[in-house]
Structure 1
């Protein structure tokens, strides 16, 4: 599992989008129990926080110490520094195992072996994520060129799984077909620019060239996006049972 998000973990927590309440209500409807959940690759803990509202105990793991230090603390959330592919959890303990915007970084075979070991017989696995956002047409054109051409060569190979809406990820489970979900925000331009600067390819570009590529498109974005505008994120979700 790669760690692309330890640097500026506070910005990651501040600027990254969340998931709509409808998504969690749907996940709840598919669960057989509410005792124990594992949020794998928890990052800033945004999903763990949601799970803590309806689970007795939430285990939240990540390989980034900085991310865990920036995660929101709750009495029934236990954060631990562990890789997705090898944990110290007992067998058959979780009603839910969920990974949000993280599974594409994992070793699939090893992670799924851990899922099958730790999941209860009637437990649920959920892979959650979001793909490239959209806004107004002019902004979309700038972002698409930036995403594809300016920083395109700097994306990790795993990015293709998000571009394919997680459909090309192996999924050796009895799959449940979910409805479609999305989330919309009214973002100020500063939030949009901050979000773009959390992208792993932006960080890779800066490391390679000692320049911030977001600055190349910032003047155009300020013009097309304006002081505030709508952004919409399609939600990626796959669910399955043993």
Structure 2
């Protein structure tokens, strides 16, 4: 698994979108047991802290020490520095395993056996993520210029799985049908800029060129934003749920 998010982990915690309440209400409803959950590649713990409201115990792992240091704290969450593909958890332990906006970085051939080893029979694997941000045509055009033309060649190859809506990742589980959920928030222009600066391709560009590519589009972005303090931003929500037999 790659670690693209140890640098500026506090920005990642501050600017990344939160998943909607309806997703977690749905998971709580469909899960027969809620003893132990594993939030894999937890990052800032945004999924783990939501699971902690209805699980006895949440075990949240990541390979980034910096991310874990900035993660949400909760008495029901135990954080540990562990790779997705090899953990110290006992066999047949988890009722739920979640991965939020990270499955595309994993070594599938090593991660899925670890999922099957650590899961109880009929536990669920939930893959969450979000696609390209959408605001309005003028702002979307600026973001596309950044995404495609400025930092396009700096995206890791794994990014294709996100662009394909996680539909093309290997998924050797009994897949369950899922409802359609919507991911929308009201952001300021500053929040949008902060989010764009968390992109892995932006970080790669900055390391290579020693300058911030978001600054290139910012004048157009600001003009497109206008005088309005906040605007609604939307993300396609990616969700796959598999039963682990």
Shift of 1:179: 1.3
Structure 2 Cα separation of the partners of residues 123 and 30 of structure 1: 11
Gaps of 5+ in 1: none
Match of 2:14 in 1: 14
Partner of 1:25: 25
Query: Where does residue 186 of structure 1 map in the other structure?
Result: 186
Tell me the SS of whatever aligns to 2:241: strand
**CA–CA distance in 2 between the matches of 1:131 and 1:71?**
23
Report deviation, 1:146.
1.4
How far apart are the structure 2 equivalents of 1:29 and 1:236?
19
State the Cα distance separating 1:79 from its structure 2 match.
0.1
**Structure 1 residues 66-145: aligned runs within 5 Å:** 66-145=66-145
How far apart, CA to CA, are the structure 1 residues paired with 2:225 and 2:170? 37
Whole-Å separation in 2 of the counterparts to 1:76 and 1:4: 27
Displacement over 4 Å in runs of 4+: none
Q: Distance in 2 between matches of 1:95 and 1:32?
A: 8
Q: Could you tell me which residue of structure 2 aligns to residue 209 of structure 1?
A: 209
1:5 aligns with 5
Could you state the TM-score of these two structures normalised by the residue count of structure 2? 0.97
State the TM-score, normalizing by the size of structure 1. 0.98
Please list every run of 5 or more consecutive structure 2 residues that lacks an aligned counterpart in the other structure. Answer: none
**Helix, strand or coil for the counterpart of 1:50?**
helix
Equivalent position SS for 2:14: helix
For 1:154, the equivalent position in structure 2 comes to 154
Number of residues of Structure 1 aligned to a counterpart in Structure 2: 242
